[in-house]
Structure 1
């Protein structure tokens, strides 16, 4: 069955096989968070994006394979409720932006900023800093041969950018970063994976950018 990106809390994960990389998406916890387990198909090395909740379930997905690091996309608690249990069980170091690091329950071993890279086996992911939802929100970009894949945390969803709680300054900053660092750079077939809910593509969302700007959220 082909990948859809549609998952439900308590339901089965969805798995996408890419050249060199396997993506497993699972929904966890009371806030319907997405967690993503990335596995290098050459080395078996793994990376977890957002240990949001239900640590036993995430550990079951991780299995006996090595977990090289856990990336936390931003400081909000619903994205790291399972982090301490995952770190204790696997010894994996935590990766996050320094602006959000102090809010996390585990020390950040590898602070990252815009343009830095994070590896999982032989696969390289680029860090994209998207300011606004939180000061240190990050996305992770994997540029495969046929299309790019972007893990956006809570900075970009189908239908709009992340919540900025009615703050016009934060909204303008987030929309500017999303436009300049994502839409202006990446092709329409770029597939993005948000922190909650369904996936989308940049091409599907691009026509709505003027509407988002006009409505202010």
Structure 2
């Protein structure tokens, strides 16, 4: 079945099958957050991105193979409501951006800096620090050696714009500059974008809108 990236709270996961990595996406309430389960196809090791809410749903999503690690993309509470229970049940190692770790009430085992590598089995993800939505948000880039890149953007990039910067011009400038330099300038149009809420997109779909985003200021 073709992956669409369209999921609903209470509905099934959608699975994007790549050569070396399986990416499963599920939506959890009450704020329609996306959580992503990454599974290395060579080793079976799993990593969860954003234990946002509904721990029972996420633990069922993870399954009996459990997870080795969980990454929190940023410190906003809707992205870590289930983190404590998921970590307690799985013993997973926790990762978060260094400058957001203090805002997450579950201890961060590995504070992440820009350019750091996070592994799931034989697969490598590269962290990109993006400032503006929060001080320490991170996006995770998987540069698929068999195809195009994939990037998990948390709340820093969505279809139609960057994340909420609370009408702060400096925060907006920082975020759009970082997204443009570290994602749009560094990655091709085919790059698949997995956001923290809602539908997926590609950098190619969003790239023509960058001047409009800058002009409107959000």
TM class by shorter chain equals: over 0.9
Residue 79 of structure 1: CA displacement? 0.3
Q: Secondary structure, in 3 states, of the residue corresponding to 1:182?
A: helix
1:102-181 alignment, distance < 5 Å: 102-144=102-144, 145-181=146-182
Tell me which residue corresponds to 1:15: 15
TM-score, with structure 2 as normaliser: 0.98
The 1-side partners of 2:141 and 2:187 are apart by 10
Query: Structure 1 length normalisation: TM-score?
Result: 0.99
Deviates more, 1:88-97 or 1:98-107: 98-107
Instruction: Give how far 1:66 is off.
Output: 3.7
- Whether contact under 8 Å (1:98, 1:136) holds in the other structure is yes
Q: State the partner residue of 2:60.
A: 60
Larger deviation: 199-208 or 64-73?
A: 64-73
Distance 1:66 1:123 in 2: 17
User: Paired residue for 1:78?
Assistant: 78
Partners of 2:182 and 2:79 in 1: CA distance? 23
CA contact (8 A) 1:83 1:105 kept: no
Q: How does 1:14-53 map to 2 (within 5 A)?
A: 14-53=14-53
Runs of 4+ in 1 over 6 A off after TM superposition: none
The alignment partner of 2:7 has SS state of: coil
- Total equivalences in the alignment: 217
Aligned match of 2:92: 92
Separation in 2, partners of 1:135, 1:103: 10
Does structure 2 retain, via aligned residues, the 8 Å contact 1:187–1:202?
yes
The residue that corresponds to 1:5 in the other structure is 5
Q: Deviations along 1:152-193, whole A, 9 cap, x unmatched?
A: 000000000000000000000000000000000100000000
Q: Distance in 2 between matches of 1:72 and 1:171?
A: 21
CA distance in 2, matches of 1:129, 1:89: 29
Displacement after TM superposition at 1:45 (Å):
0.2
2-structure distance, mates of 1:91, 1:46: 13
How far apart in 1 are the matches of 2:205 and 2:115? 25
2:128 is paired with a residue of what secondary structure? strand
Structure-2 separation of matches of 1:70 and 1:160: 26
